Amino acid sequence: MEHKQGLEWPYTLDVAALADQGWTPRPFRNFILKIHSRCDLACDYCYMYNAADQGWRAQPLTMTRTVVRQAAERVAEHAGAHGLPLVNLVLHGGEPLLSGPDLIAHTVATMRAAVGPATRVRVSVQTNGMLLTDDYLRLFADLDVLVGVSLDGDRAAHDRHRRRRDGRGSHGRVAAAVRRLSEGPYRRIFGGLLCTVDLRNDPVGTYEELLRFRPPGVDFLLPHGNWTTPPPGRRPGSAATPYADWLIQVFDRWYGASPKETGVRIFEEIIHMLLGGAARVEGLGLEPMRCVVIETDGAIEQGDALKTAYAGATGTGLHVATASLDAALLLPPVVARQLGAAALGATCRSCAVRRVCGAGHYAHRYRAGSGFANPTVYCPDLYRLITHIHRRLSADVARLRSTTPA
């Protein structure tokens, strides 16, 4: 592990003192396995290859079967110790399909066998779609693996960033793969589409382009950035809300549709929390972080988005060959993400939407010198988006009450 860990928050957390005060960790339930460390695209916004952390260069290309077995044993140990009825296994990369169908089938079978019948293993894969052939679709259907695909909109929007290494666009091949997934016998394993927001793209046009594939859900991802390295179009300290303005146009189009056309995760989660529910995704709310990454070489790490902060930000110093996953739960950077409101800075603690926003995505809070004890760099955007959705929701609730007989 690197960087100024003794100086920046959360490395100043006294975990022993928190435990003495009654704090207890919450077990992981989402396990991301990096089964391949390289990619067949060269997306210019990729946080794996084009960010501060270049650790991928030292990773082996593919996770070995030995590491797969060790990872499965650690997940089984963790699930058994905490009595987890369900765990989520995400096959990730790089591009996970580059690892080949044999390793994928072996990984899924090994994990399910290790965990045993007391715990259900729900498996998904996140792919760029370039290798998503009928053979892979048959494999995922046989293994009961949900498939999520990254697609940024129409050809111009998608190919602006998601290009092959020789500069050619990838849209045609990816769109054909998504059509096979959506329209054929494999629709039941269609997990949804992931779209990174680009302010240059028309928001409603982008959303309606994604709708053409009849996705069961769409996840709009804010570009990863922070106070030191801000995302495109976001000036730290500015009251402007370019990302909220973009997303609000999509929200109004989505919310006003009847019947409902698809799910949009960020909107559904905000509504869920405004109605009193708890956060179910990373990047919103105050629920404890329940996700851990196992790297291609077996290192136990935090989520990849932290690679945008500084080199080593994801590291724990632990490995599946020698450490339990419980050991990671007691490290300051993991503890910090399980403290809820107690981990918020003064600005966020006094904010009216803190329970819903939760200071935003943890990676987006980083500022060199103070670490992660900050609001998200998207603070004005999230405040405007949440309050807009709250107004729409409140108006509809009031209308329903006024028309419901006493």
Q: What is the pLDDT of residue 404?
A: 75
pLDDT, tens only, 251-288: 999 999 999 999 999 999 999 999 999 998 889 999 99
pLDDT, tens digit, 9 for 90 and up, residues 355-365:
999 999 999 99
Query: What's the average model confidence in pLDDT over 348-355?
Result: 96
What does the block give as tokens for 150? Answer: 């990254």
Residue 98 burial by Cβ neighbours in a 10 Å radius (0-12, 13-18, 19+)? buried
Task: Let me know: does 216 contact 262? Beta carbons within 8 Å.
Answer: yes
Q: What is the pLDDT of residue 5?
A: 53
Alpha helices in 24-86 (DSSP H): 65-82
Q: Order of strands, edge to edge, in the sheet holding 190-196?
A: 263-264, 217-221, 190-196, 145-150, 120-127, 86-92, 30-34, 291-294, 299-301, 315-319
DSSP 23: -
Q: Pairing relation of β-strands 120-127 and 145-150?
A: parallel
Cβ–Cβ under 8 Å, residues 373 and 227:
no
Contact 184, 160 (CB under 8 A): no
pLDDT at 229 over 80: yes
CA distances in angstroms from 358 to 277, 279, 341, listed in the order given: 13, 9, 7
Q: Count the helices and strands in the chain (H runs, E runs).
A: 14, 10
Give the torsion through C-alpha atoms of 99, 101, 103, 108, to 10 deg.
Answer: 120
* Average pLDDT score over residue span 170-176: 98
For 3-25, what is the mean pLDDT?
A: 86
pLDDT at 1 over 70: no
- How crowded is residue 141: how many other Cβ atoms within 10 Å of its Cβ? 15
Question: For residues 336 and 204, what is the distance between their CA atoms, to the nearest angstrom?
Answer: 37
CB 279 within 8 Å of CB 269: yes
- Kindly state the tokens that stand for 259: 């019947």
Domains by residue range for the chain, with CATH: 15-396 (3.20.20.70)
Cα–Cα distance measured from residue 319 to residue 325, given in angstroms and rounded to the nearest whole number: 9
Tell me, rounded to whole angstroms, the distance of Cα 111 from its chain centroid: 21
Q: What is the CA radius of gyration of the chain?
A: 21
Contact predicate 357/297, CB 8 Å: no
Neighbours of 130 (CB within 10 A): 19
Reported residue count of the chain is 406
The contacts of residue 66 (CB under 8 Å, 6+ apart) are none
SS3 403: helix
Sequence-ordered list of residues with C-beta below 8 angstroms from that of 346, at least 6 positions apart, any chain: none
Measured between alpha carbons, how far is residue 181 from residues 40, 101, 174 in Å? 20, 17, 11
**Residues 263, 378, 389, CA angle at the centre, nearest 5°?**
40
- According to DSSP, the residues that pair with 328 across neighbouring strands are none
Structure tokens at 230: 């801000």
The structure's pTM equals: 0.95
Give per-residue pLDDT as tens, 91-131: 999 999 999 999 999 999 999 999 999 999 999 999 999 99
Distance CA 390, CA 270 (A): 9
**Looking at residues 334-349, what average pLDDT do you find?**
94
Query: For 185, phi and psi rounded to 5 degrees?
Result: -75, -5
> Which DSSP category does 313 fall into?
T
Distance from C-alpha of 110 to C-alpha of 107, rounded to nearest angstrom: 5
Structure tokens at 309: 């902060």
Q: Is 180:187 a contact under the CB 8 Å cutoff?
A: no
pLDDT reading at 305 higher than 70: yes
Q: Is the dihedral of CA 387, 239, 197, 365 positive or negative?
A: negative
